[in-house]
Amino acid sequence: MKIASTQPKVSLPGYWELLWLLFMQPVTLHRRLRALGIDEPGAFAWRLWRRGGVGRAFVLRMFVLLVTAIPLLTGALVLALQSYGFVVDYLGVALSVALAVALGVVLGVALGVAGGVALGVALGVAGGVAFGVAWGVAYIRLPFYLMEIQAASLSYFIQRFTGRPTLNWSPVLHHELIYFPLPFLASHITLTAETDPSLARRALDACAIAPGQQRLGRIALARLQARELAQYAHTSRFAEAAELQGDWLPGVEGADPLLSGLAEMARYLQAAQQSKIAYHRLGHLERGEKAFKSLENQLLNTSSFLARELRPILPAWHTALAALRREAEQAAEQQLPNPFRSGNPLEPETGREVFRGRENLVRRVDELLADAGNAASLALLGPRRCGKTSLLKMLPSMLPDAVVVLFDLQDNPVDSLSALFGAMDRQIRIQARRDRQLELPALDRERLLTAPFETAKDWLDALETAVGERRLLLCIDEFERLEDLFPGEQRELLQFMGLLRATIQHKRRVRLLVSGAAPFEEWGELWSDHFINVREIAIGHLDRQTTVGLLTRPIPVFPAEAIPLGVAESIYQRTGGQPDLVQLYGSLLVSRLNETQCRTAELADLEAVECRALEQSAYYFRHLYGTAPESAREALQMLALGETTAPDSRTRRWLERRLLIDGQGQLNIPVLGRWLVEEEL
């Protein structure tokens, strides 16, 4: 059964409606005409006539209006001027009306009825004053404005003192060419927004059209945004504030810098609100306080409408921040600080102190970037959960002379190359602005849809120019996932790889770093053909000294007796220095000490937390085991049972590359063996 459309049918306005729209709402008229298929409503009349159909019908109706409205309106205005003593030349009036009609027929809406009235009066009434009056009536609409002042004031006061909604009476919703500001309009909109947000939004849209109301619309919107953000502070809705989501907020992308500053502060408060560890909460709040002070300074040095509206709500946010800090400090007094982080990559703002043992890798990246004669790209390779993404996230703070931007294919799922380029553009510009206060050129989104590769090439050229003498390191994480994005679309993938190869070969200030879990020689011919000149940087487990130092002294205020040397050594022996497992054991151990209100961990505590460590690592172990070849799984099973095994060279190489066995053929992560035994795999 055919379902009738619920969309309102758009039709050509009738004569009276057309006259009203022509004088009072020309923007709405243009939109309606475009909806009817008239792409250029202001085109010459003869062009519209030649196209036939609705365009010809529009020209006919405009002709009728020109023939009738111009003489009538001109005559009325001439009589009014004559009554005030102006000398009228009726022959001149007649000739000017005829000329105005002729021009209107030829030029169409571009001249219009209003222009005809002004021309008719100007040529038929003596004196420049008459022309000024005609211009004021036809274009500036001064008589209308005098009445609109009264209507706007009356409607506002009725709603203000009676509560009856009257914003729909406001002239701004009915007259799109008000050149002077209406009184009380901003207050009227903010008052209405409390009970009828959709009507307030219509008024804001109308303000954006009316020349004299645009400033008032911006003031009203700033008030509404400030009011909404104040409500978020009072109700601890930090997640919405962090994303600038709400009835009046614009979202993070393209937001005003003042709103972006407040969103940054809200992100720290959101992180503190969600964290269950007091030490982590205090760290988030400390950064939130810095963001608050930065925002406060921004507001003091800015004179925009938004700044004036945001200043009064700062105390509400300061109160929310102080309340969270009091709660966190009270909890921290009873607990050992727990700086360890597992499960997610370390962030520069929260995990810098426990990011250890990668100084040589950072130095290697810096050396390769500094070599202007070497155009090789970099490949950061290592097993999963070894800290590749953590290292990439730390590079901006550890390479201050470079512009480092990260694009993670896992966090940005896309289904086309144009979507991939668009997501890269968005992330790169956000990170460059955040880390280096650098505005990078944006991708041409419209052109991207029709010519993605040419657009991306021009964009990369523009990036190289924009960074000046600095180096731009474009990091693409989880790079081997790229092939999965376009199954069967090898042509597009080959074009993308060719673009990257050209970037490698021909650009000196834009460099590419890809990271992945599989060894580079296992990526296949597609990758090796396009990445001939690549410098591999291997990332692996932490060594014994780094692991023990991290566990016994993760931060300066960590009590020396909390994790003794013997316990730290035992953790290293169980994990083989696998970075995520080391962090997990440390976090669970400190949590147990806080739960039992003990100050020093013992080996018995380590045994107690290992069961939880196995539970939380089950997904990682299962993925690691499940993706291994059959021969590698058999070798892991035998090693887990304490038996000796002699896998073939191919299997041994596969296990060694993933750091699952050491040089002697023993398990590199002993706790993995325990998990295999308990799971009976």
pLDDT, one tens digit per residue, over 368-397 is 888 766 767 788 999 999 999 999 999 999
Element (H, E) at 406: strand 402-408
Which amino acid makes up residue 160? Answer: R
pLDDT, tens only, 320-365: 999 999 999 988 888 899 999 998 899 888 888 999 999 999 999 9
> What is the model's pTM?
0.70
What is the dihedral angle through the alpha carbons of 191, 197, 203, 208, rounded to the nearest 10 degrees? 110
Cα dist from 12 to 6, 19, 52, 114, whole Å: 19, 12, 14, 21
Q: What rounded mean pLDDT belongs to the chain? A: 83
Picking from 249-253, 267-271, 587-591, which range would have the lowest pLDDT averaged per residue? Answer: 249-253
Query: Is residue 138 scored above 60 in pLDDT?
Result: no
Query: Can you say whether the dihedral through the CA atoms of 386, 390, 396, 400 is positive or negative?
Result: negative
Report the distance separating Cα 400 and Cα 106, nearest Å: 64
Residue 236 region by backbone torsions, left for phi larger than 0, else alpha for psi between -120 and 50, else beta: left
Strand ranges of the sheet holding 471-477, from the earlier edge strand across to the other edge: 402-408, 471-477, 510-516, 377-381, 534-538
pLDDT, tens only, 212-227: 999 999 999 999 999 9
The C-alpha R_g of the chain, in whole angstroms, comes to: 35
pLDDT, tens only, 547-583: 999 999 999 989 989 999 999 999 999 999 999 999 9
Q: How would residue 421 be classed by pLDDT, with cut points 50, 70 and 90?
A: confident
Strand 534-538, strand 510-516: pairing: unpaired
pLDDT at residue 129 in the model: 44
Report the distance separating Cα 588 and Cα 577, nearest Å: 16
pLDDT at residue 2 in the model: 38
- Please choose, from the candidates 520, 582, 508, the residue with its C-alpha nearest in 3D space to the C-alpha of residue 380: 520
pLDDT, tens only, 630-663: 999 999 999 999 888 888 889 999 999 999 998 8
CB 210 within 8 A of CB 175: yes
Report the distance separating Cα 329 and Cα 8, nearest Å: 59
pLDDT, tens only, 275-318: 888 888 998 999 999 999 999 999 999 999 999 999 999 999 99
Here the tokens at position 108 are 């169409």
pLDDT, tens only, 229-260: 999 999 999 999 999 999 999 998 878 999 99
Angle between helices 579-596 and 565-575 (to 10 degrees): 140
Cα dist from 50 to 45, 67, 110, 353, whole Å: 9, 21, 17, 74
Here the tokens at position 161 are 């003192």
Query: Is residue 542 scored above 70 in pLDDT?
Result: yes
pLDDT at residue 527 in the model: 64
Please indicate whether residue 153 or residue 14 has the higher confidence score (pLDDT). Answer: 153
Residue 179 phi/psi, 5-degree rounding, is -90, -10
Here the tokens at position 333 are 């007094």
